Amino acid sequence: MSKSDGPGRMPGWPDVLALARYAESVGLDSVWICDHLVSEPEAGPPEGVLEAWTILSALAASTRRVTVGTLVTPAALRHPALLAKMAATVDGISGGRLVLGLGAGLPGLEYEWYGFPDDQRLARLEETLEIVGGLLRGPSPYFTMPGRFHRLRDACLLPPPDRPIPLLVAGDGTRLLRLAARHAQAWNTAWYGAPDDRLRARLAAMARALAGEGREAGSLTVTVGVSVTDPDHAMAEEDEFVGSPDDLARVIDEYAELGVDELIVALAPRTERSVDRLVRALTRYRA
């Protein structure tokens, strides 16, 4: 679920809430929020975007069943200890339904405008994963980290989280895949239409990363971001799926045959009609 400008205006909280509740009511499993301070479309000027964790907290309190998560929070935008505290709070509000999605981020206006560091992105992500993981799931309540970017000494979360909060790492590249295999419970690669050779190569690369970390393939939840555009909507871009619910059901089956555990679907347009088309495809796939 995007929070950036749509045609003519930015979706407000009432729009986000209505679509999330509708998705939950018709049986979808999760709602995901992108985490940026400004939206940068490939063409056109910057667009507005609502703050992710504020929206996520509100969604946690306003839904009852769906998983809620970030896809994803760039490591440099928040101090990892604060991020761990935020995650524990939102997980508590949701009753244990949060997945904390993290990524290295991409240099852009939000770094230029607001002064966030955009260097050493993978090193910052690695340190964030170590700190957040240590605070959220460490065997000891006290955590020390003499890091390059952040230093913690005998730190702990008070109150502690009620459960081990799962971490999702998104992205590709040899080093990032290794970080996901080492630290995460889930991994996301995006964005795709139907499965293609690019996806197959990334799945194979992740299998190698898991083996390199001594993990079994089934120990990591594999999620794929899929862009699905209504045929009656504006012209689709490359790497988007456009087709009928029957066609989409067949594509979902192809992902399942590749061993993908979950699909995170970006709908265009983000409307109840698009949600209904997705539900019809899922119903036909499950049949």
Spatial separation of the C-alpha atoms in residues 235 and 269, rounded to whole Å: 11
How many Cα atoms sit within 13 Å of 161 on the Cβ side? 27
pLDDT tens series, the chain, 287 aa: 544 444 456 789 999 999 999 999 999 999 999 999 999 988 889 999 999 999 999 999 999 999 999 999 999 999 999 999 999 999 999 999 999 999 999 999 999 999 999 999 999 999 999 999 999 986 677 899 999 999 999 999 999 999 999 999 999 999 999 999 999 999 999 999 999 999 999 999 999 999 999 999 899 999 999 999 998 876 666 789 999 999 999 999 999 999 999 999 999 999 999 999 999 999 987 76
| Torsional sign, CA 112, 115, 118, 119 | positive
pTM equals: 0.94
| H or E stretch covering 70 | strand 67-70
Contact between 104 and 75 under an 8 Å Cβ cutoff? The reply is yes
Residue 125 pLDDT = 98
Contact between 52 and 70 under an 8 Å Cβ cutoff? The reply is yes
Please provide residue 90's backbone torsions phi and psi, each rounded to the nearest 5 degrees. Answer: -65, -40
Taking Cα atoms as reference points, which of 34, 31, 36 lies closest to residue 17?
31
Residue 233 pLDDT = 76
Residue 2 pLDDT = 46
Domains delineated in the chain: 1-18+32-168 (3.20.20.30), 171-287 (no CATH)
| H or E stretch covering 225 | strand 221-229
